Structure 1
Amino acid sequence: MTTASPVDAPGMPVVVDQVALARLYGEPLFALPTDLYIPPDALEVFLEAFEGPLDLLLYLIRKQNFNILDIPMAGVTRQYLAYVEEIRSRNLELAAEYLLMAAMLIEIKSRMLLPPRKQEGGAEPEDPRAELVRRLLEYEQMKLAAQRLSQMPQHGRDFLKAQVFIEQSLQPRFPAVQVRQLQQAWRDILQRAQLVQHHKITRAELSVREYMSRVLKTLQGRRFVAFEDLFEPGQGRSVLVVIFIALLELAKEALIEITQAEAFAPIYLRLAYTPV
């Protein structure tokens, strides 16, 4: 297969800015081969590589290492029009938006050829390229940001989340006992104690730690014990108070658990640990 140079092959596309139409065995191809049929739509792959007029214009400026703040409008416009002519000859609909930018470049170039208008207050006249430069800089920032976002790992494209299903047995969670419910249960104990109490004048030394040990022994080997079963009204109010304080101390030290199946249900106690 032979290839023709841009000068030797009449009717072939003119090389624009030395951009290869394709690569053949690693070598750039600047003109279509004379002995190979290529459908006209095949060039749309190259023409549609740009995402719009600003993308094409930014490519021309960066490729030639032009200063974007001081664009040489003549050279850039000439190259841009050459690209647009290639697009227009093959896809008129695709070239419509590019033609609008071409008109804008020609207008800017014509305004630069005219004498600058004097501004009020002696201010310097505005550069006709200022608006174009602003749009190019904003587009370049958005394009670079999009490239950085595209390089970040994405779920479903670069990695997948591992999912493991573990069957767990559901444990019943009893509602917490409210303070007022505990108070009401304590009042009921006191009321029953008053009905059976005897008038005795005695002095007894009661130990909270001793009754704490008694409560723990009572709860050992039993799953639940009713709150009322820990009190004996016949023991007197002082003993009942010490037993109640012992229960509070055991609950504070997380040695027992006070549970209730539902609101207003009986209150039960059980050990919060498994005895050795």
Structure 2
Amino acid sequence: MTQPTRSASLHAPSSAPAGGMPEVVDQVALARLYGEPLFAMPTDLYIPPDALEVFLEAFEGPLDLLLYLIRKQNFNILDIPMAGVTRQYLQYVDEIRSRNLELAAEYLLMAAMLIEIKSRMLLPPKKTAEGQEPEDPRAELVRRLLEYEQMKLAAAGLNELPQIGREVLRAQVYIEQSLQPRFPDVSVSELQDAWRDILKRAKLVQHHKITREELSVREHMSIVLRKLQGRRFVEFEELFEVARGVPVLVVTFIAMLELAKETLIELTQAEAFAPIYVRLAYQPA
């Protein structure tokens, strides 16, 4: 909403040229002012009356103006002297009507409300049907003023808080590692699908032999680490010895999970549904 303003004009005195026409050099004018040739730079300065305005006071709306008048006179907001406040309010409205009639419409509405309240206070009060005392005509206006003042103070408090871009700026740090491609993390469901595919392939080449073999998870952890040693990436399927049967595959898979839990290996995938690769975890020097 545009803020109404009370303005005052500043006039700069103008002085007439002391002499006649300045000396003309080769009949060449420096410029033209209102169609007239200007042969020399002016020695004085003239400012039109409406060229400069000084803003004295600005208000956000009728309630802001009314609250300003009450606080400026140190009136009790719960017992507003309507005659004095209405008179000062109408003086301000008459001033802005001469400059911006469209803006003054909202202020005229509040002025009508003030005059109505003042008129109702001059009439003798009438009791209600229940025999109770009538409500003070100023009660609704007081309620609106108190709510507006509360919101205005809250807005001023928020404005005093530090704001990004005004009191503080975000720190920006250039990190070269951010330029490196970041591979998406491997989800549990994708790891399960890859494991099921390994089991299906193992069942196709399995042999019906009944044997008892003691398998060590720690031993297979060492086997996996040896296969990864010196290699940048190893495909997930290459770490399993399908020909040795399902028990060895299970122990190898458990060994890989233990290594991943101890952050000794990393599982990466370039994109969704792409092959899963295993590599040794990065160890800083």
| TM-score interval for Structure 1 and Structure 2 normalised by the shorter chain | 0.5 to 0.7
Q: Which has the larger radius of gyration?
A: 1
Contact 1:73 1:109 survives alignment (8 Å): yes
Q: TM-score w.r.t. structure 2 length?
A: 0.62
Measured in 2, the distance between the counterparts of 1:95 and 1:125 equals 33
Measured in 2, the distance between the counterparts of 1:129 and 1:225 equals 83
The one-letter amino acid of 2:148's match is Y
Measured in 1, the distance between the counterparts of 2:105 and 2:256 equals 85
Kindly provide the CA deviation profile for residues 127-170 of structure 1, in whole angstroms up to 9, marking residues without a partner as x: 11122212222322232233223323333344433434444221
Shift in alpha-carbon separation, 1:181–1:252, aligned structure 2, 3 A: same
Question: 1:116 aligned to 2:129?
Answer: no
The one-letter amino acid of 2:191's match is Q
Measured in 2, the distance between the counterparts of 1:267 and 1:82 equals 81
Question: 1:71 aligned to 2:80?
Answer: yes
- Greater shift, 165-174 or 58-67, is seen at 165-174
Contact 1:258 1:267 survives alignment (8 Å): yes
Q: What SS does structure 2 have at the residue aligned with 1:161?
A: coil
Q: Tell me the equivalent position of 2:140.
A: 131
Question: 1:91 aligned to 2:99?
Answer: yes
Kindly provide the CA deviation profile for residues 179-204 of structure 1, in whole angstroms up to 9, marking residues without a partner as x: 2432332342354242xx7x7x8766
Q: TM-score w.r.t. structure 1 length?
A: 0.63
Greater fraction helix: 1
Question: 1:221 aligned to 2:230?
Answer: yes
Question: 1:45 aligned to 2:45?
Answer: no
Measured in 1, the distance between the counterparts of 2:49 and 2:220 equals 100
Displacement of 1:267 in angstroms is: 6.7
| Equivalent pairs, count | 235
1:197-236 superposed matches below 5 A = 207-223=216-232, 224=234, 227=237, 230-231=240-241, 233=243
Question: 1:101 aligned to 2:125?
Answer: no
Which residue of the other structure, out of 81, 102, 106, is the alignment partner of 2:90? 81
Question: 1:182 aligned to 2:195?
Answer: yes
Displacement of 1:225 in angstroms is: 6.5
Shift in alpha-carbon separation, 1:133–1:38, aligned structure 2, 3 A: farther
Q: Tell me the equivalent position of 1:253.
A: 259
Measured in 2, the distance between the counterparts of 1:137 and 1:226 equals 71
Contact 2:242 2:249 survives alignment (8 Å): no
Q: Tell me the equivalent position of 1:17.
A: none
Identity %: 59
Q: What SS does structure 1 have at the residue aligned with 2:117?
A: helix
Measured in 2, the distance between the counterparts of 1:132 and 1:202 equals 96
- Greater shift, 218-227 or 123-132, is seen at 218-227
Displacement of 1:60 in angstroms is: 1.7
Displacement of 1:55 in angstroms is: 2.1
Measured in 2, the distance between the counterparts of 1:57 and 1:263 equals 65
Contact 2:267 2:277 survives alignment (8 Å): yes
Contact 1:208 1:242 survives alignment (8 Å): no
5+ residue gaps, structure 1: 1-20, 23-31
Contact 1:257 1:269 survives alignment (8 Å): yes
Contact 1:208 1:245 survives alignment (8 Å): yes
Kindly provide the CA deviation profile for residues 12-63 of structure 1, in whole angstroms up to 9, marking residues without a partner as x: xxxxxxxxx99xxxxxxxxx99x9x9947867723x5233332222112112
Displacement of 1:64 in angstroms is: 1.7
Shift in alpha-carbon separation, 1:38–1:66, aligned structure 2, 3 A: farther
Displacement of 1:118 in angstroms is: 2.2
Measured in 1, the distance between the counterparts of 2:258 and 2:53 equals 82
5+ residue gaps, structure 2: 1-6, 14-46
